[in-house]
Amino acid sequence: MKKLFLFTTTAILLSINSLNAQTILNGETNNIEEYNYLCWQIPKSINNSENEKLFISGKYSFETTPVNTNLLTDTYIKSPWLTNGIGNVKLTARLNGSGAKSRGVVFSYAFFDEASKNEDYTTDFNTFYEYSFTNMSNTNTTIISSALPMAIKNTNQPYKIRISFVGTDGEGTIVFDDVEISGRYSSDPSNKCLPAKTSEENDKEDDDKDKVANKYDLYPNDPIKAYNNYYPENSNGTIMFEDLWPSKGDYDFNDLVVGYRFNIVTDAENNIVEINYEITPKAIGAGFNNGFGFMLNKIEWDKIYAVEGLKTEAKWLNLNKNGTEADQKIATIIAFTSAADFLKGPGGSTGVNVDPKVAYVTPQTINFTVKFRDENGKAPNGFVSMKEFSVEDFNPFAIINQNRETEIHLPGYEPTAKADRKMFGQFDDNSSEGNYYKSKDNLPWALNIPAEIPYATEKTDFVKGYKYFAEWARTKGENYRDWYEENEKNRDNDALYIVK
């Protein structure tokens, strides 16, 4: 019986508390603009008081400019849109200054009216309470309070409360603070401070009920997918390899050139649903027959539900059932095992798309999807959030001359578990734990550019094509950060393979 009593009492108290929502305005941020962002309307006739002696509570209070008009629309504050108020409108105020014949505070309300021609979309304001200060020389604080009128009590219809400060004569101001208005905050700062949509209204604009409104949902009929996040954001990226690692090569960086772009598809909870990849072998400037893959750093192989759209085969390639490479703890995907399968060179040439005198071969793009979720949106081994995954976790590498143990990664990036670590430190390589694939003079074997750029022609040193690259590198990337962008200043097109 006692338990039942306690439960009932607690439930009643909680329900009263939730019903009796208060929307509060105090001056504590000392920045009126912030309140306006939150859909209060505070005109320039209201300021934060600068006189500490007049503060009513906390560190700051509000103060009107001299109040010497009875116009309700001159010196006022208007609340954000509120709903379901059942209690009072209340504020604490005091007079300041001299010469006043009268000073007062007036409470009014208005409803939302979509057809209204005024900028607030309100009906006309109706006054429901007036308070007059009786002694103009009394500067003590006064609590001014009134119950909400019956017309707006407990209504779902959005309403605003206007508190006007009025008076005649003199330079006296009104200092006020601790404005409390009964009602649930129902404005939407992200929609021009119009009333927030109700859950029913939101549902009507969300066909797949994933909480993302149709107008923003790129998959409005798919409750699992919501957003696309492309990288690079507006074009393909370019990865270029020198393939003689661990020895230095000729630094034309065209032994294998791969274009790439991927789209991380996320749900309403910011979890990854899938990543769609476009990988394009663009040039082969080597005698070696190279492959290409990438690790998804931090993502363990069994977090991947399936790799779909890839048909990779090689003697050295073993795949898990989900399509990731076998015997790898970290998810590793082999995009192609032989670039030559996708770039068939014209006879007599040592490479493809590296010599401008030889016919251009149109590259084939390999499209595939790495799925993190099953058909029902479930992730058997847990969701992967965008908070824990980033573009930086894309760790591409070349597999050199069909030798699975020879990988070349971007400088600083870790090799996969398949790489032969005995090769580190051999010849020109100076890799160390956490600082892989750099030569003894800190030069790389691979470059990744977040844009589609032309690469150097065969046997042409890369720095001849990009005039500011060397200076960019010398300054640790501080100067000439746009070294790769297309303009005459940056590039020497005679040294670059330009597709016409």
Partner 1 sequence: MIKQTFILEKNRLIKKNTILNHLIISVLFFGLWICTDINKFKENKKMKKPYLLVLVLIALIQTIFTSCKKLENAEPKTVITPTVTNFKQIKADPTFNWKSTKVIAVNIVAVNAEVNITNTLFVKTENGNILFTKLHKMNESYTGNITVPSKTDKVIISFGSIVKTVSINNGSALINFIKN
Q: Name the residues that contact partner 1, by CB under 8 A.
A: 21, 23, 31, 33-34, 37-38, 184-185, 187-192, 196, 211-213, 216, 226-231, 233-234, 248, 251, 266, 268-270, 386-387, 390-392, 410-412, 435, 438, 441-444, 447-451, 461-464, 467-468, 470-471, 473-474, 476-477, 481-484
**b vs e for 426-440, b when ≥16 Cβ sit within 10 Å of the residue's Cβ?**
eebbbbeeeebbbbe
Burial of residue 88, with CB atoms counted within 10 A of its CB: 0-12 exposed, 13-18 middle, 19 or more buried: middle
Which phi and psi (to 5°) does residue 266 adopt? -120, 165
Least Å from the CB of residue 194 to partner 1:
9
Question: Nearer to partner 1 by C-beta: 232 or 356?
Answer: 232
Paired strand residues for 368: 277
Question: Nearer to partner 1 by C-beta: 86 or 358?
Answer: 86
Question: Nearer to partner 1 by C-beta: 50 or 233?
Answer: 233
Least Å from the CB of residue 7 to partner 1:
27
Task: Give the list of residues 6+ apart from residue 273 with CB closer than 8 angstroms, or none.
Answer: 224, 225, 265, 266, 267, 371, 372, 373, 377
Least Å from the CB of residue 64 to partner 1:
23
Question: Nearer to partner 1 by C-beta: 21 or 333?
Answer: 21
Neighbours of 56 (CB within 10 A): 19
DSSP-derived secondary structure letter, 496: B
Residue at token pair 């772009």: 261
Question: Nearer to partner 1 by C-beta: 301 or 483?
Answer: 483
DSSP-derived secondary structure letter, 35: H
Question: Nearer to partner 1 by C-beta: 379 or 463?
Answer: 463
d(CA 497, CA 206): 48
Cα distances (angstroms) measured from residue 455 to each of 253, 294, 376: 7, 21, 43
Question: Nearer to partner 1 by C-beta: 26 or 324?
Answer: 26
Question: Nearer to partner 1 by C-beta: 82 or 174?
Answer: 82
Question: Nearer to partner 1 by C-beta: 329 or 481?
Answer: 481
Least Å from the CB of residue 230 to partner 1:
7
Least Å from the CB of residue 464 to partner 1:
6
Determine which helix (DSSP H) or strand (DSSP E) holds 11, and give its type and residue range: helix 2-19
Query: What end-to-end distance do the CA atoms of the chain give, in Å?
Result: 87
Least Å from the CB of residue 432 to partner 1:
10
Whether residue 166 contacts residue 115, with contact meaning beta carbons closer than 8 Å, is answered with no
Least Å from the CB of residue 430 to partner 1:
9
Task: Give the list of residues 6+ apart from residue 143 with CB closer than 8 angstroms, or none.
Answer: 90, 91, 92
Least Å from the CB of residue 88 to partner 1:
17
DSSP-derived secondary structure letter, 394: E
d(CA 455, CA 279): 17
Determine which helix (DSSP H) or strand (DSSP E) holds 472, and give its type and residue range: helix 469-474
Q: What token pair was written down for 334?
A: 């082999």
Question: Nearer to partner 1 by C-beta: 173 or 457?
Answer: 457
d(CA 285, CA 482): 26
- The dihedral region occupied by 35, where left means phi > 0, alpha psi between -120 and 50, and beta the remainder, is alpha
Question: Nearer to partner 1 by C-beta: 306 or 473?
Answer: 473
d(CA 60, CA 252): 66
